[in-house]
Amino acid sequence: MTHASDGPTTLSPARIRLALLALAMGGFGIGATEFVAMGLLPDMAADLLPGLAATSTEAANAAAGWIISAYALGVVVGAPTIAAAAARWPRKRLLLVLLAAFSVGTLASALLPTFELVVAARFAAALPHGAYFGIASLVAAGLMGPGKRARGVALVLSGLTISNVVGVPLITWLGQQAGWRVAYVAVAAIFVATFVAVAAAVPWQAGDPSATIVRELRVFTRVQAWFALAIGAIGFGGLFAVYSYVAPLATEVTGLPASFVPVVLVVFGLGMTIGNLVGGRLADWSVRRSMYLFFATLAGSLVLTALTAWHPLGLGAGVFLVGASAAALSPTIQARLMDIARDSQSIAAALNHSALNIGNSLGAIVGGMVIAAGLGYVAPVWVGLLFTVAGSALALATFSLDRARRRRGIPMPSVTGAIGAIVD
């Protein structure tokens, strides 16, 4: 692809790259606002729940997991609601509104004084998350052109994974030195910078003038859509059961000092960055085979982490592979949802992030429960394995249903027409 439409003019390859970079910057900010809490969870627990922390550090850390779960639940609520209601909006305008909302919600998270208000702010800050990734993925798919759909999605998500290599560790370090509230102010500044970049670089794209809330919500009438959502929601619990409590896992089980937590987050982020890019490329080759491969790798990675987390090298290898295999699943599940959505592309692109953040919430909640029960910080890793096995079973079921449809001569869904409409 050498150009894309931008009203009456054409975009040069350099302009397309700048537009994709601006979209990825939003992913970078989202990765920071979502994942900084993982590394700063003990600090937030000590500051916001001082009475409980004085009694039991484990109980305070487990309770503070609600900060993570509240964000995840906000994504679940906001993604389908905003995507369905705003499908007719010009896509660039919608992206700018969502980035403004991110900026305000993240700043509120930094400034509000009590645990309950911070939890509420995290919920509000998460509402634009899924809609941003959904609309940005559609814009990126159009800029990339036919046959590169999953790679376009992966490029947008690369901002999130690179954030886990650079942004999250650096902002975690900043939070450890200057306080967790300063960390969230820094994240809000990233969103302001992204607003400027999107305004300057992303071409104007019309929304879908024929879209209606009813048509977008029609995706929920399809059994395969529910399978895809369940695969993301349950399967991704495996990642977040580990990631939510990686800071106390590193300090209490591996015996690393708190100053090494950002290093662990860098390793996690490197795995996610590589896995996301590999997943986007392989999903364009075969969604089904890629999903099987990445679920199997995630399961093996969780077992490795659980058995070797007591040693720094074991922890490093485990979190790298967990991050890589889970991140590779994200564009794969996104492509699957877009395949089965037909004319409900806006909501389908956003729903992937609702599903993944249900997994985020489930992983954090159940992981916190087993910690609070006194089973230790390795227990959430085994919980994650159970989620991963369940996600694998759902993947087998959904593709078995595809085979049954083919045997009966029912046409399989395709997203080619929808993506082609975006290109021009």
Residue 348 has pLDDT above 80, yes or no: no
- Please state whether the predicted TM-score (pTM) of the whole model is above 0.85: no
List Cα–Cα distances, 228 to 26, 82, 129, 234, 340, in angstroms.
25, 20, 19, 10, 9
How far apart CA 49 and CA 408 sit, in angstroms, is 58
The structure tokens 């400034």 sit at 111
Q: Give the length of the chain.
A: 424
Question: What average pLDDT does the segment 81-99 reach?
Answer: 83
What is the per-residue pLDDT for 42? Answer: 84
Render the burial of 167-204: b for 16+ CB within 10 Å, e for the rest.
bbbbbbbbbbeebbbebbbbbbebbbebbebbeebbbe
User: What per-residue confidence (pLDDT) applies to 221?
Assistant: 74
Per-residue confidence (pLDDT) for residue 273, from 0 to 100: 83
For the cut 80, the answer to whether the pLDDT of residue 388 exceeds it is: yes
How does residue 142 score in pLDDT terms, banded at 50, 70 and 90?
confident
Is the pLDDT at 12 greater than 80, yes or no? Answer: no
CB atoms within 10 A of CB 207: 17
Which residue has better confidence, 245 or 418? 245
356 closest CA partner among 155, 72, 92: 72
Predicted pLDDT at 1? 38
Tokens at 80, concatenated: 């389908």
pLDDT given at position 187: 93
Which amino acid would we find at residue 299? A
Asked if pLDDT for residue 313 goes beyond 90, the answer is yes
User: Residue 29: what pLDDT?
Assistant: 92
Contacts of residue 282, defined as CB under 8 A and 6 or more positions apart, other chains included, come to 289, 290, 293, 328, 332
**What amino acid occupies position 264?**
V
Q: Give the pLDDT score at 304.
A: 94
pLDDT attached to residue 211: 61
- Model pLDDT, residue 354: 76
- Interacting residues of 37 by C-beta distance below 8 A, sequence separation 6+: 44, 67, 68, 71, 122
Domains plus CATH for the chain? 5-423 (1.20.1250.20)
Instruction: Give the whole-angstrom CA distance, residue 366 versus residue 361.
Output: 8
Rounded Cα–Cα distance for residues 145 and 162 (Å):
24
C-alpha span between 309 and 315 (Å, rounded): 4
The alpha carbon dihedral of 420, 339, 239, 110 has a sign of positive
* CA 359 distance to own-chain centroid: 10
Tokens 């700018």 correspond to what residue? 96
Task: Examine the pLDDT at 3 and tell me if it is beyond 50.
Answer: no
Give 121's pLDDT tier (boundaries 50, 70, 90): very high
Among 139, 333, 351, 318, which Cα is nearest to 243's? Answer: 318
What are the beta bridge partners of residue 10?
A: 5
pLDDT of 85 strictly over 80: no
Mean pLDDT of 150-157: 71
State which amino acid sits at residue 122: R
pLDDT of res. 181 = 92
Residue 412, CA distances (Å) to 150, 201, 403 in order: 18, 37, 10
